[in-house]
Amino acid sequence: MILKQFEVSHVEEQVGKDPAPGFTTYLQQMRVQGMSWTAEIDGKFVASAGLIPLWAGVAQAWMTVSDTVVLHRIPLARKLRRQLSDQMWLRSIYRAQADIHAKHERAIRLVEWLGFENEGLMRRFGAEGDDYFRYAKVTNGN
């Protein structure tokens, strides 16, 4: 597995070009130098993830995956956990938060395994009008 700096084209390869209105614009905001990355396995982009700084010490965590991610879920999850912890420590981030679709059970299991805690339901939050949970990983500092 190779980690590369995230580029919008990586997600377009994973999920297609602009699968929802405004998605590509949102992806461009997610490309934060050194804080967003893509996992490449056997020449294919299988997942992209990162942190978007909101203000000092707080960041929004995000992740997109390809259909083939299930073939690599364990090494990818371990790499993600290490990368997330390292970035939070290096950048003095004491709170990382993530919005997870309420019906996406695999994503919920992953984010909880990464150490995030459910902070509550956000009704009709998504662009499609679906419910999402807000999860957060809060540390006591570096």
Q: What is the pTM of this model?
A: 0.82
Instruction: Report the DSSP beta bridge partners of residue 41.
Output: 44
Rounded to the nearest 10 degrees, how much is the dihedral formed by the CA atoms of 73, 110, 44, 52? -160
Domain count, the chain: 1
pLDDT at 18 exceeding the cut of 60: no
Structural domain boundaries, residue 72 = 2-138
* Tens digits of residue pLDDT in 63-86: 887 777 778 888 888 988 999 999
> What distance in Å separates the CA atoms of residue 20 and residue 16, rounded to the nearest whole number?
10
Residue 105 sits in a domain whose CATH number is: 3.40.630.30
pLDDT at 131 exceeding the cut of 80: yes
Q: Look at residue 127 in the predicted model and tell me its pLDDT.
A: 78
Under the banding of pLDDT at 50, 70 and 90, the label for residue 107 is confident
Under the banding of pLDDT at 50, 70 and 90, the label for residue 94 is very high
48, 70, 137, 44: which is closest to 98 by C-alpha? 137
Q: Which span out of 19-28, 35-44, 51-60, 66-75 was modeled with the highest average pLDDT?
A: 51-60
Under the banding of pLDDT at 50, 70 and 90, the label for residue 139 is very high
Q: Look at residue 72 in the predicted model and tell me its pLDDT.
A: 81
